Amino acid sequence: MPVAGLLWQHPTRDNCEVAALELTAAERHPCRDYITAVAGQQLLYGALSPTTNGFCCQSDNGALRPSQHRKPPSSATLEHTPRAGTNPSRTDYTDREPHQPSRPRRPQPSPPSPPSPPPLAMGVLTWLGLRRSECFDSPTLLDHLLTSPLAYLVSRFYHLALFLRGTPFYPPRSRPPIRVVCISDTHDQVVSVPAGDILIHAGDLTNDGSASAIQKQLDWLKAQPHRVKVVIAGNHDSFFDPEARSDEDVRAGAALNLDGLVYLQGELTVQEIKGRSISIFGAPDIIECGPKNFAFQYKPESHPWLSKVPLQTDILVTHGPPKYHRDLDLGCPHLLREVWRVRPRLHVFGHIHCAYGKEAAYFDDVQLAYEHFLARPRRGLLGDLIPSGTWVDAAKVVFHGIHSVLWKWLMGGPRSNQGSLMVNAAQMYKNSGRARSRAIVVDI
């Protein structure tokens, strides 16, 4: 039988938004990868997989692990103010079986594990590396062509225009610059950190989120020579969230030593450095992306960022990215609106390992046109050939992009930019499970 008769892979917008087969609403997961059809029968593979404890969830580092049903903790200790709206004292309970008289029983052999699907069932194109396997991977060229070649071209043009406009801002000439070192997503690993004045870790210090694992990372950060060290939690740092904390840490009365660090959980800190006042706001809240033991998650339809960030914020630190910027289209639109309102000089985040890097933000007509264009649904290779409103939005991006570059070099001149910088500082190299020393340094 030809390959076309064995395999069908859904060419959705981000290759992970597909319709689940005969699944109830409770069984749906936001990161369904793909559907294959083998020998006329539809089989579902990817991030959604029923287990005895729940559903397998795709973690940030690319590993699948089952969701754990955690019992609500009775009490918890953390040397920091708990998140507003949480209830740290919840009744612990244990499911007990009725007493049965003991009798010798023959151990039952465990059922054999089902065989792994052959490469054809996983997708020939994915197996060959021509298409990404899940939504946290970087899209391949074929992914872009099948999803929307127009979106790919417009995105390349937009980033070219940003490059031609130069550095988005410069440190003041009359005062010494402040060097900010940005890292995120170290996941229990230690990386080389450049010298600087402020060190920022944007969350996901660990994998399992236990107090002991977090403390090791905190001790490593304390040993760094930077004058100010700012830390926020990520979705993997469960201990910081009383609602996600493990039973083991609750029973042990575990606590963290945060001395020498500035831990931010929806708070603003003002630091005096080199005669300048720098306002830093940090919040760990992240759009729902995994099981209940992931910390600080919120539903996509909720609005946790509404007027949350103070207007005087110079540096904004979040774990998740805003929509359409260094996010593989997995960022939060509510956070993007808040960033537009505040317009911080520097926005540091992580979470999406494959979107590592930095991107200028000017909050002008070209950025607005670009975001409006990306908000439209992808129509595929053939759909992009049909004239539509998407063509109009693409033309607006091109027009405003050319205008911004000409204005910069013909009217503004060097050092005339007054923009911001968005930094995805994930140290984890893609979804390999290995961290690399690639801290991003910014002078403000």
* Cβ contact 318:329 at 8 Å: no
* Cβ contact 230:317 at 8 Å: yes
Instruction: Write down the pLDDT at residue 130.
Output: 81
Confidence of residue 416 (pLDDT cuts 50, 70, 90): confident
Is the pLDDT at 439 greater than 50, yes or no? yes
* Cβ contact 244:238 at 8 Å: yes
Is the pLDDT at 39 greater than 90, yes or no? no
pTM of the predicted protein model: 0.71
* Cβ contact 415:339 at 8 Å: no
Q: Is 138 helix (H, G, I), strand (E, B) or coil?
A: coil
* Cβ contact 320:290 at 8 Å: no
C-alpha span between 344 and 318 (Å, rounded): 12
Instruction: Write down the pLDDT at residue 363.
Output: 96
C-alpha span between 66 and 54 (Å, rounded): 6
DSSP 50: B
Residue found by looking up tokens 């000409």 in the block: 406
Confidence of residue 432 (pLDDT cuts 50, 70, 90): confident
Instruction: Write down the pLDDT at residue 233.
Output: 94
Is the pLDDT at 79 greater than 80, yes or no? no
Which domains does the chain possess?
166-362+417-443 (3.60.21.10)
Confidence of residue 36 (pLDDT cuts 50, 70, 90): very low
Instruction: Write down the pLDDT at residue 92.
Output: 40
Mean pLDDT (whole number) for 19-23: 36
Is the pLDDT at 125 greater than 90, yes or no? no
Question: Is residue 192 classed exposed, middle or buried when 0-12, 13-18 and 19+ CB atoms within 10 A define those classes?
Answer: exposed
C-alpha span between 392 and 191 (Å, rounded): 46
Confidence of residue 16 (pLDDT cuts 50, 70, 90): very low
Is the pLDDT at 277 greater than 80, yes or no? yes
Q: Which of 74-78, 107-111, 207-211, 287-291 has the highest mean pLDDT?
A: 207-211
Average pLDDT value for the chain = 78
Task: Tell me which amino acid residue 21 is.
Answer: L
